Amino acid sequence: MKIGVDYYPEHWNEERWRVDAKLMREANISIVRLAEFVWSKLEPEEERYQFDWLDKALDALHSEGIQAILGTPTAAPPAWLHERYPDILPADTHKYRLGFGTRLQRCLGNPIMHRYSRRITEAMAHHFAHHPAVIGWQTDNEFEANLCYCDSCAERFREWLKAKYGTLEELNHAWGTIFWSQEYSGWSQIPLPWHVRCGESHNPSLKLEYRRFASETTVNFQHEQVEIIRKTCPHHFITHNFMGLHDSMDYYELGRDLDFISWDNYPGGSWMQADNSIDMTHAVMRGIKQSNFWVMEEQTHIIGWERISRRPADGQSRMWAWQAVAHGADTVLFFRWRSCLYGTEQYWHGVLNHDGIPRRRYKEIQKFGEEMKKISSLLDGSVVRNEVAILNSYEQNWAFQLQPQTDGLDWWSQIRRYYNALRSLGVTCDITPLSANISSYKLLILPGWYLLTREDAERIDAFVTNGGVVVISPRTGVKNHINVCHEHPLPGFLGEIAGVEVDDYDPIGKAEYTVIVDGKELTAFTWADALTPKGAETIAIWKHSQFSGESAVTRNRRGKGLAWYFGTFGDDAFYCALLPKALADARISHGIHYPSGVDFSWRVKDDERYLFLMNHNAEDLTVSLPMSMDSVLGPNPVDNRVTLRGYDVGVYRG
């Protein structure tokens, strides 16, 4: 396990490079990422490559025993490329070309962009293939779906549809284009979901297929770079820095080509993690390849562009870094090494401030590095392993984005409710795709599986009949994979598995209904399904609603397993009344209830388990341990209890 930083030697005089490298080593930093935003310096003119300066920077790092990850610089195409080929600029929903002056100003489907991406990647891979400091590559930077609306993308989209559907007759039938007289008699008539008379209210099938196409375009762009690097640098790893809960594209598809995934973690950025769900985001990222990951950018201090965040408390950055390790990170790189003097990110503070003098932030990172060095041999090879999984799908997410239907039904809110409830019960879980090895779990949580195929239902049925327990949520089985409504009763292909039929529903949004569970009244909101049991037993009934007296939650035995149907969403009390029953069915014991603001996770290695405790509160808190355990890091237990200071961390072996 290693710690590192993101470094931009091009921002500083060459004389400073060896000073930086020495300071990095003294802070226990052993790896850097660099070059992902410097295309204009690597190729100042077309096919005139200038790598000597980067050689010198790498040599300076290598002299201090520091390894390097090189980023392909295609996230920031140079001005000369835009001037010569303005068609590589992307277009918005009004077909307006977005201009040069920031980053990511490129259409990833444009053939010219592809050509120049291949060229710079090939040149870099050949030149740095055998540099002793280079151990791996990061493709581009923070990929998004290629949501470009230029005419070139429209043509490629039509070709993509033609390959998928074969004939216009098939497409018209599948999408139901008879609605609003939208039947196509020529492929050229098919639009992108441009801004139109009724805003963006295009055919839902068109919109979903475009989202798939836009995501696939980005995946294909990365694939070309991966192929080049694999061929030229077979001894180097390849990764990419994902963006947590960003959901414009299918992260599972983007991750297939990579050796492991990385992600950029900014807990103090209110625009990214306003609800402090960093632990859940780590679980989402771990689930991309169902394995450990890296944090390629870990928040160091104050962050922001035009507006900036609050200053993290002393010790908070160290705690965030340990939290990443607790949830599956094998390496953490802090962003950035030194605050930049110019450009958009002047106030995105680094380990060193603008003056380059080591101060308290440097010492905090140095302390984390010392701790990592001390216990990394214990943690090397350890993994996060859980018995519960919440299923995740980017296509389901897009479908809810395209038709939100009511307040609170968005995808991450659905997942977050289950995740937070499980955590409050002391239960850890994975967040993983249905395509994963779900047989390794005892309990599956299925958020609203809006687009339900027969194949999906068969996988879930096999899981249940073989002894698993599944919890099914409202809005499951509404549509097919093309975003067209099914004709059969909800929850569609899962109806027989759940032993229930949705007779009616009410999109209640922010309003509140009441359900009765074990004689207690509990609050429900967002959605209400009136359920007709078809073999299932009723666990909760509606009260103070349009469906008073009808079933709200059911439980059905299927083969060796059980299927629960939650016909609504609720607060913590709702889930804490129901999920323990499902956990008991799955023979999963509850963990300890930790105080609010204390995050916990387990890493497992052979027969040893390591419990991580992170106190996100400013005040000290006393926490119980689940068994007799030894301290690996942090305060020693007394009578199986430890007191963590504000923003402190403890690691315990048992």
- Residue 141 makes CB contacts below 8 A (sequence gap 6+) with 36, 37, 71, 75, 103, 241
3-state secondary structure 464-511: HHCCCEEEECCCCCCECCCCCECCCCCCHHHHHHHCEEEEEEEEEEEE
Query: Above 50 in pLDDT, residue 271?
Result: no
Q: Which residue in the list 64, 122, 142, 224 is annotated as catalytic?
A: 142
Q: Tokens standing for 538?
A: 């009723």
User: What is the structure's pLDDT at 195?
Assistant: 87
State phi, psi for 194 to the nearest 5 degrees: -70, 165
| CATH number of the structural domain 598-653 | 2.60.40.1180
Mean pLDDT of 65-93: 97
The two structure tokens encoding residue 495: 């109806």
Read off the pLDDT band of 276 (50, 70, 90): low
pLDDT the model gives residue 268: 84
Instruction: Give the domain ranges of the chain.
Output: 2-146+221-379, 151-208, 388-585, 598-653
- What is the Cα–Cα distance from 330 to 325, expressed in whole angstroms? 6
pLDDT, tens digit (0-9, with 9 covering 90-100), for 520-537:
999 999 999 999 999 999
pLDDT mean over 573-597: 94
Q: Is 228 in a helix, a strand, or coil?
A: helix
The pair of three-digit structure tokens given for residue 603, joined into one six-digit string: 């890493």
Mind listing the pLDDT tens digit for each residue in 289-309? 999 999 999 999 999 999 999
Query: Smallest Cα–Cα separation from 464: which of 437, 444, 493?
Result: 444
CB 78 within 8 A of CB 101: no
Distance in angstroms (rounded) separating the CA atoms of residues 227 and 59? 27
Report the pLDDT averaged over residues 589-606: 92
Residue 142 appears among annotated catalytic residues: yes
Mean pLDDT for the stretch of residues 156-177: 98
Which helix (DSSP H) or strand (DSSP E) does residue 457 occupy?
helix 454-465
Q: Tell me the mean pLDDT in the region 34-61.
A: 98
pLDDT tens for 345-360 read 999 999 999 999 999 9
Q: Which residue has the higher pLDDT, 18 or 269?
A: 18
**What confidence category does residue 273 fall into, taking pLDDT thresholds of 50, 70 and 90?**
very low
The closest alpha carbon to 606, from 441, 382, 386, 430, belongs to: 382
Please give the CATH number for the structural domain made up of 2-146+221-379. 3.20.20.80
Give the model's pLDDT for residue 512. 95
- Cα separations in angstroms, 98 against 76, 88, 103, 107, 164: 14, 10, 11, 10, 30
Q: Does residue 272 have a pLDDT over 80?
A: no
Quick: pLDDT tens for 196-223.
877 778 999 999 999 999 999 999 999 9
Measured distance CA(422)–CA(575) in Å, rounded: 8
What does the alpha-carbon distance between residue 137 and residue 508 come to, in Å, rounded to a whole number? 48
- Residue 85's CB is within 10 A of a number of other CB atoms, namely 15
**540 in helix, strand or coil?**
strand
Count CB neighbours of 102 within 10 A. Answer: 9
For the cut 80, the answer to whether the pLDDT of residue 176 exceeds it is: yes
Average the pLDDT over 327-342 and give the result.
98
User: What's the pLDDT score for residue 200?
Assistant: 74
Cα 399 from Cα 335, distance rounded (Å): 34
**What letters, b where the CB count within 10 A reaches 16 and e where it falls short, cover 111-145?**
eebbebbeebbebbbebbeebebbebbbbbbbbeb
Q: How confident is the model at residue 634 (pLDDT cuts 50, 70, 90)?
A: very high
> Alpha carbon of 566 to those of 117, 447, 486: distances in Å?
48, 10, 20
- What pLDDT was estimated at residue 197? 76
Examine the pLDDT at 274 and tell me if it is beyond 60: no
Indicate if 371 belongs to the active site.
no
- Distance from C-alpha of 76 to C-alpha of 42, rounded to nearest angstrom: 12
Q: How confident is the model at residue 592 (pLDDT cuts 50, 70, 90)?
A: confident
| Contact (CB, 8 A) for 109 and 217 | yes
- Residue 304, CB half-sphere, CA atoms under 13 Å: how many? 12
Q: What is the pLDDT of residues 430-441, one digit of tens each?
A: 999 999 999 999
The single residue listed with the structure tokens 């408390």 is 313
Q: Whole-prediction pTM value?
A: 0.97
Helices of type H across 27-72:
39-42, 52-63
- Across the chain, mean pLDDT equals 96
Alpha helices in 183-241 (DSSP H): 204-232
Catalytic, out of 43, 209, 297, 371: 297
pLDDT recorded at residue 346:
96
As a whole number, mean pLDDT of residues 60-86 equals 97
Burial-class residue 100 by CB neighbours within 10 Å (0-12, 13-18, 19+).
Answer: middle
Q: Does the CA dihedral 208-209-214-215 come out positive or negative?
A: positive
If DSSP codes are grouped into helix, strand and coil, which group holds residue 627? coil
Q: How much is the pLDDT for 196? A: 81
For 530-561, how does the pLDDT look when each residue is reduced to its tens digit (9 = 90+)?
Answer: 999 999 999 999 998 999 999 999 999 999 99
Q: How far apart are the first and last CA of the chain?
A: 21
pLDDT at residue 311 greater than cutoff 70: yes
Topology of domain 388-585, CATH: Rossmann fold (3.40.50)
CA 128 – CA 68 distance, rounded (Å): 11
Instruction: Kindly tell me if the per-residue pLDDT of 519 is higher than 80.
Output: yes
